[in-house]
Structure 1
Amino acid sequence: MASVTAIAKADRNDPPGDTVAGEAAPGKAARLRRRLVHFGGSRLGALILALNLLSLLILFGGALALNEWKRGLVEAKQESLSVQAELLSNVLGQLGITRGEPRPELDAIQASKWLRDNFIPTGQRARLYDIDGLPVTDSYFVTEAIPGEALPPARPAGTPVTRPDAAVTRRTTERQDRAAAALTHEVDLALAGQPQAGVRVSESGDRVVSVSVPIRHVEKVLGVLTLEAGDVDAILAAQRRALMPFALVALVVSLLSSLLLHLFVARPVLRLAAAADQVRLQRARAISLPDLEGRRDEIGDLARSLETMTETLSDRMDAIERFAADVSHEIKNPLTSIRSALETLPLVKTEAQRERLTTLLQQDVRRLDRLITDISNASRLDAELSRDRPRPVDVATLLSDIVSVYAASLKPGEAPVRLTAGTEPAMVSGRDGPMGQVFRNLIDNARSFSPAGGEVRVSLARDGADPQRPLVVRVEDDGPGIPDDNLETVFERFYTSRPKGTAFGSNSGLGLSIVRQIVAAHGGSVRAENRTGPDGTVLGARFEVALPLAGRQT
């Protein structure tokens, strides 16, 4: 059984945004703002997502930057070749390198000499085609540049000749044919009068930036000039090398995120698990990790929740131990009385003495039976409160039903119970069974103190004295009242102070303790006071139960 202090402590330590008996705790607004600011309300989730996205953005950013660089380099190369080709074609078309007036034709010999004297290729290749698309000259042939690959090293004398593999030869031939077809197609389009620019594969298998422009004399197309730059693969290789730093940075960021996850998530969870094992093995009564409890993320919330949970369990264990000690003490009294009576019974000599001992035994048995019943009810109370789900309960209807049962079962000499005020619906969030037990215990307690001719009055009202608990149920009697020193003591376990004439053993002293426990579990409060007249005379006792309305539990 949890004490009132333990319950209050657990409530105070509830994480923001949690609810007790259906009402939002004061920190709900702050938790809601936190959820909006952080990724799904999770600081660690936001950190993990940010680190992973950062590594990907670095990699993608580098790839996009290099792609743009690649595209810009290729376009710049094409533009440069186009400008050169236009200039060369204009010169070839206008500077007398034509013949056949009025039908001009390209002079292949003069054009080849002019290219040899005026075009010095540096990583570029110039080809000239006539009006029929036939090759006229190639800068590789009119310069000292020797295309192709370096010869393999000389082999020792007598080394067998290795014949080239047929499949390799076939693939090489097919590649050269495709390259020649692509070049022919480009030249044919340029002969139609449309300059061409693009990237294609050369006969050697390298990618080249190629520009083909028609050579014109006035409007007449005389041929095609093709310029090629074969350093595309070198550019791409340089770009791949430039991408490596971005990939390395992304790798470092990923490793860093993994390390942070290990330091800030995995290790704290392992520490919490070890602390939980310490509690399980009874080497500690509560989890206490101050460095984790101060964190403002989910790990800190978990550490604080575990500490609160273990402290609450520890408080409950202490309360159970105290309850067991009180129960042992209370049960020993009737048992001692019964044992004494049984030991004395064989020694009595008169029938009157025997009847007195028998009466004493019956009283002790009734007292013991009532005590065991109330102890059983009290021990099951925590389980019932935690098992039942809170739901809306109409207190006005509940009081009306309870009062009607007392009225129907009224016996001569018993104090009647009357509902004096409060019939409007008043909804609270709770459990109707325990709530009914609260009011029945208060009414039974009031009836036990009511004198002959007295009555018990029950009222329901709304009071603005406590805005958090505006619903007030009052139970009043016409008895002798409660000593001022005992206005709080009456709610302690096994406390009882009966008026003269009360049947011995009819009360266990647990009724009001159960009332306070149930009311506290519903977010309410209960207090006792005396009713006094104008002259200060005590007219009876009054018990007030203050409850929050549905949706306002704290």
Structure 2
Amino acid sequence: MASATATARAEAGGREPDEEPQRRPLFRFGGSRLGGFILVLNLLSLLILFGGALAINEWRPGLIEARQESLTVQAELLANVLREEGVTRGEPTPELDPIRASIWLTDRFIPAGQRVRLYDVNGLLLVDSYQVTEAIGGRPLPDAKPAGAATEDAAKANLLSERRVARADSELAAEVAAALDGSPQSTLRRNESGDRVVSVSIPVRHVRQVLGVLTVESGDVDEILGAQRQALFPFALVALGVNLLGSLLLHLFVARPIMRLSAAADQVKLQRARAISLPDLEDRKDEIGDLARSLESMTDTLSTRMDAIERFAADVSHEIKNPLTSIRSALETLPLVKTDAHREKLTALLQQDVRRLDRLITDISNASRLDAELSRDRPRPVDLNRLLVDIVGVYETTAKPGDIPVVLTAPEQALRVMGRDGPLGQVFRNLIDNARSFSPAGGVVRVTLEDIGDDLPIRVRVEDQGPGIPAENLETVFERFYTSRPKGAVFGSNSGLGLSIVRQIVEAHGGRVHAENKAEGGARFEIVFPAVGRWS
């Protein structure tokens, strides 16, 4: 059983009565500093990738548009050259001269990597730069396969090639047809080889009449896209670095501290330490720091309780040993007694020691169960008027001749406290029994319940007419096994645990108890409780 002070702290949630709960900063994400830290790291890497993608997406249309504008200017220059070279003529009727066009359209006019085609007014191909050029185009052959390796199905490959060519011809024909309507066309399409090309088609005119279409295409789109991918690569590297850094920080600031806390808890479990103490973690202002402080507080409380249990066990052993020693001495002496008077005296001493031992064991049992009872029962409003009337009524109905009477003074209105009626009843019974044991014959024990309207407004007083308490013992009477009694009092009638239990229960209910001496003589025990709604 823990001491009264330690138990009060435990019941109050591990806080001192005047200690304010720690306030969390409002800027934490969902109340969690670590949660915000993890969110920021993840968002940062995503923002880097998103920003890079946006930059590339804005750059890519700019590159394609710039290439299309360049090809449009080049196509217009070639169309002007066609007119100047006499490829277009107007007599007797406006038409294109395919022979002059073939002579003119040689590779000395066409930059490397580009293809120029000339179509007549019906969309029929007249000249293709790939056909009149002296250069032979192509692409590197794939690496030779080892002997016995499986080869691709030729029929399937031819079918795919035919489909690819048909699709390319269809897209090109649509572009040429649109240009024959008199408006220049700019597209991004695939050629017969499946490569992406930037294509520009402009109408070739004689004065105002459209005589054909000049198409210029460039196959460096993949190079443009490759440049875009290379531009995105630094963003990906930075995002990867941020993720790696975030993972490292999470390991250093989350995983490793939790591992240390786990190892410290294992040390406590293996009884190599009584409490967890990690000052560097406890100084942190996040959830790890909260966890470290909570574990330290918990283990400190457990250590304090363990110390209290050890001291309690030592005190119990000492207190039980005294009556047992007396009983053993009386039993050893009893066979040697010759007279009946001496035998009756020893028998009375044995009975007194047995009663003392029984009372001591009962109080020890009650004290050991107190923590469990306080933690098991949920607080609820308790009417102290009715509780005290019932308790005093029991003393009145069970009173024997010569017993000290108990008088109750209470207001008519109900005074309620938040608590547990069982432990509160034990408080009042212990105080009344203690007062009756010290009261002289003919004395009266008075119990007063009143509302004093203070911070702890409900006050209960238990007064006797006995010899009072020495001034130096007004506080020590609440210690365990305190049994100092005035001269003439019966030895062994108290276990010394009653007032200790009283303080423990009162403080667990948010109240206070103290002892004082009355001016007219006798002792007074005063308890103050918070009213309903003010106890926590």
**TM-score, normalisation: structure 2:** 0.87
Q: Do residues 68 (structure 1) and 62 (structure 2) align? A: no
* One-letter code aligned to 1:133: G
Q: Which residue of 2 aligns with 1:340?
A: 329
Match of 1:544 among 519, 526, 529: 526
Q: Do residues 529 (structure 1) and 516 (structure 2) align? A: yes
Q: Which residue of 2 aligns with 1:455?
A: 445
SS class of match (1:441): helix
Match of 1:179 among 164, 168, 184: 168
Q: Do residues 6 (structure 1) and 6 (structure 2) align? A: yes
Note closer, same or farther for the CA distance 1:126–1:473 as it changes in structure 2 (3 Å cut): farther
SS class of match (1:39): coil
Separation (CA, whole Å) in 1 of partners of 2:288 and 2:301? 20
Cα deviation for residue 480 of structure 1 reads: 2.8
Note closer, same or farther for the CA distance 1:388–1:151 as it changes in structure 2 (3 Å cut): closer
Deviations 1:57-79 (A, max 9, x none): 32333233222222221122233
* One-letter code aligned to 1:525: R
Whether the 8 Å contact between 1:131 and 1:191 is mirrored in structure 2 is: yes
* One-letter code aligned to 2:61: R
Q: Do residues 125 (structure 1) and 119 (structure 2) align? A: no
Whether the 8 Å contact between 2:443 and 2:465 is mirrored in structure 1 is: no
Separation (CA, whole Å) in 2 of partners of 1:423 and 1:494? 38
* One-letter code aligned to 1:484: A
Note closer, same or farther for the CA distance 1:408–1:192 as it changes in structure 2 (3 Å cut): farther
Cα deviation for residue 369 of structure 1 reads: 0.7
Q: Do residues 198 (structure 1) and 187 (structure 2) align? A: yes
Q: Which residue of 1 aligns with 2:280?
A: 291
Separation (CA, whole Å) in 2 of partners of 1:553 and 1:436? 18
Separation (CA, whole Å) in 1 of partners of 2:224 and 2:340? 124
Q: Which residue of 1 aligns with 2:339?
A: 350
Separation (CA, whole Å) in 1 of partners of 2:129 and 2:314? 111
Match of 1:81 among 71, 84, 90: 71
Cα deviation for residue 370 of structure 1 reads: 0.6
Deviations 1:425-448 (A, max 9, x none): 545443332222122212222233
Q: Do residues 43 (structure 1) and 33 (structure 2) align? A: yes
Whether the 8 Å contact between 1:456 and 1:478 is mirrored in structure 2 is: no
Note closer, same or farther for the CA distance 1:414–1:164 as it changes in structure 2 (3 Å cut): closer
Separation (CA, whole Å) in 2 of partners of 1:376 and 1:382? 11
SS class of match (2:518): strand
Match of 1:328 among 309, 312, 317: 317
Unaligned segments of structure 2, at least 5 residues: 144-150
Separation (CA, whole Å) in 2 of partners of 1:423 and 1:194? 104
Deviations 1:449-498 (A, max 9, x none): 3341423222132442xx3x444333233333222111101101111244
Separation (CA, whole Å) in 1 of partners of 2:19 and 2:413? 28
Note closer, same or farther for the CA distance 1:518–1:206 as it changes in structure 2 (3 Å cut): same
Whether the 8 Å contact between 2:176 and 2:213 is mirrored in structure 1 is: yes
The runs of at least 4 consecutive aligned structure 1 residues that moved more than 6 Å come to 93-96
SS class of match (1:208): strand
Cα deviation for residue 224 of structure 1 reads: 2.0
Separation (CA, whole Å) in 1 of partners of 2:11 and 2:500? 20
Q: Which residue of 1 aligns with 2:147?
A: none
Q: Do residues 268 (structure 1) and 249 (structure 2) align? A: no
Cα deviation for residue 322 of structure 1 reads: 1.4
Note closer, same or farther for the CA distance 1:4–1:189 as it changes in structure 2 (3 Å cut): same
Note closer, same or farther for the CA distance 1:550–1:142 as it changes in structure 2 (3 Å cut): farther
Identity of aligned residues (%): 70
Separation (CA, whole Å) in 2 of partners of 1:316 and 1:116? 101
Separation (CA, whole Å) in 2 of partners of 1:27 and 1:163? 76
SS class of match (1:37): coil
Whether the 8 Å contact between 1:454 and 1:477 is mirrored in structure 2 is: yes
Separation (CA, whole Å) in 2 of partners of 1:414 and 1:152? 117
Separation (CA, whole Å) in 1 of partners of 2:485 and 2:18? 42
Separation (CA, whole Å) in 2 of partners of 1:354 and 1:489? 38
Cα deviation for residue 148 of structure 1 reads: 3.0
Note closer, same or farther for the CA distance 1:409–1:188 as it changes in structure 2 (3 Å cut): farther
Whether the 8 Å contact between 2:7 and 2:504 is mirrored in structure 1 is: no
Higher relative contact order (CA 8 A, sep 6+): 1
Q: Which residue of 2 aligns with 1:492?
A: 479
Cα deviation for residue 205 of structure 1 reads: 1.8
Note closer, same or farther for the CA distance 1:422–1:186 as it changes in structure 2 (3 Å cut): farther
Matches within 5 A, 1:100-249: 100=90, 104-110=94-100, 120-141=110-131, 145-149=135-139, 165-216=154-205, 220-249=209-238
Match of 2:21 among 20, 23, 27: 27
Deviations 1:150-174 (A, max 9, x none): 5899xxxxxxxx9993433332232
SS class of match (1:480): coil
- Of residues 170-179 and 313-322 in structure 1, the stretch that sits farther from structure 2 once superposed is 170-179
Separation (CA, whole Å) in 2 of partners of 1:324 and 1:359? 29
Cα deviation for residue 183 of structure 1 reads: 0.8
Q: Which residue of 1 aligns with 2:146?
A: none
Cα deviation for residue 184 of structure 1 reads: 1.1
Whether the 8 Å contact between 2:165 and 2:192 is mirrored in structure 1 is: yes
Separation (CA, whole Å) in 2 of partners of 1:119 and 1:392? 102
Cα deviation for residue 255 of structure 1 reads: 2.1
Unaligned segments of structure 1, at least 5 residues: 154-161
SS class of match (1:459): strand
Cα deviation for residue 112 of structure 1 reads: 5.5
Whether the 8 Å contact between 1:208 and 1:230 is mirrored in structure 2 is: yes
Q: Which residue of 2 aligns with 1:430?
A: 419
Note closer, same or farther for the CA distance 1:86–1:440 as it changes in structure 2 (3 Å cut): farther
Matches within 5 A, 1:397-436: 397-436=386-425
* One-letter code aligned to 1:487: L
Note closer, same or farther for the CA distance 1:349–1:74 as it changes in structure 2 (3 Å cut): same
SS class of match (2:344): helix
SS class of match (2:525): strand
Separation (CA, whole Å) in 2 of partners of 1:152 and 1:450? 115
Deviations 1:336-386 (A, max 9, x none): 222222222222222222222221111111111111100111111122223
Cα deviation for residue 118 of structure 1 reads: 9.8
Separation (CA, whole Å) in 2 of partners of 1:195 and 1:406? 114
* One-letter code aligned to 2:476: T
Cα deviation for residue 551 of structure 1 reads: 5.0
Note closer, same or farther for the CA distance 1:429–1:457 as it changes in structure 2 (3 Å cut): closer
Q: Which residue of 2 aligns with 1:157?
A: none
Separation (CA, whole Å) in 1 of partners of 2:459 and 2:79? 104
CA RMSD of aligned residues (A): 3.3
Whether the 8 Å contact between 1:10 and 1:308 is mirrored in structure 2 is: no
Separation (CA, whole Å) in 1 of partners of 2:261 and 2:514? 41
Cα deviation for residue 190 of structure 1 reads: 2.4
